[in-house]
Amino acid sequence: MLHSYSIKNILSHFEYKELTKIDGEMKLETISLLQRQVKRNAQGVPTTLGGGQLGFLALVISTEKYNAIPNSTPFLRPKDPGPFELHLPTSTDNAAPTPTAPTRRTTTRSITRATTPTQTDLVTSPTQQPTVIFSAEVATQKAAHDDAVKKKYYKCQAVEQALRSQIIEAIEAEYIDALRNIDTDMINASIPEIFDFLQINYGQITEEELVTREEELRNFDYDPQSPVDKVFTKITLFQDLCTITRNDKTDKQLCQIAYLIFNRTRAFVEALKAWNSKKTEDKTFALFKQHMRAEHHALKQVGALTIQDSTLYQSNMIQQVLDQQSTMQTNLQSTIDDQVKASLYNAITDFTTTTDNNQVINNISSTTEPNNSDALLKMIDNLNKKIDALTKPSVSTDINPRTGKKFKRYCWSCGCCTHWGRDCTQKKSGHKDTANFKNRMGGSNKNCLPACE
């Protein structure tokens, strides 16, 4: 190879020297994480191709997605230029005068023998007059060919191979060996082809689950005192999942999701008014991020950021009230327990130290009203009932208190419940993360009412 690029040299530009190892089954989230890391590595390698701003990102995503990036320049992947061919001057070129007594004649365009700068080669074609080419010109053209063409070609090849090797090392063999060539036992697929294969085979997600995730994102409670990029990061991660599953959100839809999240805080009312007044062509997701960063910085400078009007603040206040209520219940239960224990202890002590049971009653009656022993027993019974009422666990419900709708999540181990199978903390033997209402894979049918499906 004329130009070589070592893996060590390429890796020195990567943000992730090693990709996050995926142990076990491939999932949509792990595929998305892998793709994000590969994107960053590809952009870290400098190049003049595609304007140079995005590095070798074009090797990782489709041409369509690459060209859709704002202000991107088309990435023309260099092809193998093959052997060097000498460029002959035309009649309009500033060629050296043709000597009256040429020293040697040839009918080919390729110069294979180097001569000293003082020597000349006489080159002709069937339709041209003899042209003198100096050896220095041959050397100059060959050097330019090597630097401008072959270097770019081999560097592009090396970067792609380094990225491909990282992906193969990060995934267990059983999930990617199907891409190996049967004759060479090598994986030569392009990076986009590898991720397409992973998504189709291991990154499937139901429409219902994708909708649920979008609802969770829209209901995200953002604290205005934290960076606005906390919102944008969540949206970007969601968009990655949509992209992998070929359900991309438009720029307008991404702006709408972010707009709703910021609007609920009530801390960016003026900022959002200013955004509404912008021209339609200026309302891109990239420009919205710039706009909100600037507005957040401006509000921070004047100390105007607060969460008192936000849903997050309200949720925190409600939680504080619930915590106080729980503390009061705990204290009440403890007090009642102490009173019951003291009463029982005194009664038992009187009983065990007195041979005459009537004397126990008389002792109680001497300080209380007649027949107060029955009242005491009744009081104890009532106290026990109160304790049972306080300590009795709350009745489970199939209604989500947040949305007011029936739960739409299925877990192989728990049936219809508040979480998906992959998030279950009490997985039973044989648990399957990918089980859903349509394909329960032999899992639990608990609470699986028709309304849940």
Q: How many CB atoms lie within 10 A of CB 305?
A: 16
| β-strand pairing of 120-123 with 105-106 | parallel
Q: Which residues contact 305 (CB under 8 A, 6 or more apart)?
A: 224, 225, 267, 296, 299
CA distances from 231 to 104, 112, 295, 296 (A): 74, 62, 14, 12
Residues 5, 155: contact at Cβ < 8 Å? yes
Helical (H) or strand (E) element with 314:
helix 311-353
What residues does each domain of the chain span? Answer: 7-80+145-202, 207-301, 311-391, 397-453
Distance CA(162)–CA(152), nearest Å, equals 15
What was the pLDDT predicted at 367? Answer: 46
Which residues, in sequence order, are bridge partners of residue 411? 415
**What is the distance in angstroms between the CA of the first residue and the CA of the last residue of the chain?**
60
Q: What is the pLDDT along the chain (453 residues), one digit of tens a residue?
A: 434 567 788 999 999 999 999 887 888 889 989 999 999 999 999 999 998 899 999 999 999 989 988 888 999 998 877 666 666 665 554 444 444 444 444 334 444 444 444 444 444 445 555 555 567 666 666 666 666 567 888 899 999 999 999 999 999 999 999 999 999 999 999 999 999 999 888 888 788 888 888 999 999 999 998 999 999 999 988 988 888 787 888 989 999 999 999 999 888 999 999 999 999 999 999 999 999 999 999 998 888 776 554 555 555 555 665 666 667 667 666 666 666 666 666 655 655 554 455 554 555 445 444 455 566 667 667 666 666 655 554 444 667 555 566 677 889 998 888 888 888 988 898 899 988 888 888 888 887 765 444
Answering whether pTM is above 0.85, one says: no
- What does the H/E/C string look like for 114-133? CCCCCCEEEECCCCCCCEEE
pLDDT value of position 414? 86
Q: How far apart are CA 83 and CA 302, in angstroms?
A: 66
Distance between CA atoms of 130 and 128, rounded to whole angstroms?
Answer: 6
Q: By C-alpha distance, which of 217, 229, 224, 236 is closest to 290? A: 229
- Type of residue found at 286: A
The CA–CA distances, whole Å, from 4 to 85, 154, 174, 322, 340 equal: 21, 7, 32, 66, 86
